[in-house]
Amino acid sequence: MRTLIAANWKMHGDLSWIQKPSEFRALFPAGKDNIEILLCPPAHMLEAMVGASTGLDISVGAQNCHDESSGAYTGELSADMVAETGATYVILGHSERRAIFGDTDNWVAAKTSAAQKAGLRPIVCVGESRAEREAGQAEEVVGAQIDGSIPADARGDNIVIAYEPVWAIGTGLTPTIEDIATIHDHIRGCLTARFGVKGADKIQILYGGSVNPENAQEILALKDVAGALIGGAGLEMKSLAAIAALA
Ligand code: PEP
């Protein structure tokens, strides 16, 4: 299993960014390490980004998809449409989707199933708010999101989970290394309860939330952290390559 270093560009960038895969590879040549690089640009760049990444061993993913295959859903993309661009991943249930666009656990589970059916590998995000952490509810909240957002047929090759504490996203704050280890261990326990040791062990769990070249080494060295989902530091290929070099 390769360590997954994923950049979520959110609503940033323009079509000139399709040179970023080459820029990244100039800084971090392919095959150097056992690392998979994933770029998740805004939807209008997906197809061009897939083209620009071909032959560079860089995967491309979307940031959302709808659970229905077609219909009157203005502004949405189905999982099949995402797959048609050549993208192979999709981020689902990001805290911004949950907070701003009303993605619920049920809806994330439906989107995840649709993505799996379309042959995409969904990255399902979970994480507690600041208030929930301060109330000592982080494990309970994350456990409920795992139970509600992960469909019954999850396997290592058809899902990735990202633990992203909401309060750590874009803030420069991160949980302590012990707290990250505790939640990842808890997620592994929730997965084991549902899918058995063999099934759960193969599911990659990423950490996300203010990962940068200064803190990446310590976080990525944790036993159960199989990669990172990166926002701000993933917009610059220099910092993304620096993080990959530490993985
Ligand atoms: C994110 O939005 O998924 C994220 C982790 O952002 P940042 O790295 O900027 O905290």
DSSP letter for 55, please.
Answer: T
What is the value of pTM for the model shown?
Answer: 0.97
Residues 97-133 have pLDDT tens digits of 999 999 999 999 999 999 999 999 999 999 999 999 9
pLDDT band at 48 (very low <50, low <70, confident <90, very high): very high
pLDDT at 67 over 80: yes
Could you tell me the distance, in angstroms and rounded to a whole number, from the CA of residue 198 to the centre of ligand 1?
A: 30
Mean pLDDT of 19-41: 94
Could you tell me the distance, in angstroms and rounded to a whole number, from the CA of residue 44 to the centre of ligand 1?
A: 21
CA distance 38 to 60: 5
Mean pLDDT of 54-80: 98
Atom of ligand 1 nearest to the CA of 211: 8
Per-residue pLDDT, 54: 96
- Domain of residue 232 covers 3-246
pLDDT band at 198 (very low <50, low <70, confident <90, very high): confident
Per-residue pLDDT, 46: 98
Which residue type sits at 217?
Q
pLDDT at 31 over 90: no
Is residue 77 a contact partner of residue 65, using CB atoms and an 8 Å limit? yes
Is residue 191 a contact partner of residue 200, using CB atoms and an 8 Å limit? yes
Is residue 205 a contact partner of residue 224, using CB atoms and an 8 Å limit? yes
Is residue 178 a contact partner of residue 140, using CB atoms and an 8 Å limit? no
Atom of ligand 1 nearest to the CA of 125: 3
pLDDT at 33 over 80: no
Any idea which residues carry the catalytic annotation? 94, 164
Ligand 1: residue whose CA is nearest its atom 2: 231
Please tell me which of 31-45, 77-91, 143-157 the model is most confident about, judged by mean pLDDT.
77-91
Mean pLDDT of 213-230: 97
- Give the CATH number of the domain where residue 194 resides: 3.20.20.70
Is residue 18 a contact partner of residue 57, using CB atoms and an 8 Å limit? no
Ligand 1: residue whose CA is nearest its atom 1: 231
Average pLDDT, the chain: 97
Residues in the chain: 247
CA distance 173 to 41: 24
Atom of ligand 1 nearest to the CA of 94: 3
pLDDT at 93 over 80: yes
Total domain count for the chain?
1
CA distances from 199 to 27, 89, 93, 155, 171 (A): 36, 20, 22, 6, 34
Is residue 182 a contact partner of residue 166, using CB atoms and an 8 Å limit? no
The string of DSSP codes covering 76-141 is: --BHHHHHHTT--EEEES-HHHHHHS---HHHHHHHHHHHHHTT-EEEEEE---HHHHHTT-HHHH
Q: Please count the other Cβ atoms lying within 10 Å of the Cβ belonging to residue 68.
A: 14
Atom of ligand 1 nearest to the CA of 208: 5
- Residues within 6 Å of ligand 1 by CB: 8, 164, 169-170, 208-211, 229-233
Query: Which residues have CB under 8 Å from 68's CB, separation 6+?
Result: 78, 114
Mutate to test the pocket of ligand 1, among 125, 169, 171, 240 (most ligand atoms within 8 A of CB): 169
Ligand 1: residue whose CA is nearest its atom 4: 231
pLDDT over 90, % of the chain = 94
Both tokens of 96, joined, read 């911004």
Could you tell me the distance, in angstroms and rounded to a whole number, from the CA of residue 140 to the centre of ligand 1?
A: 22
Mean pLDDT of 197-226: 96
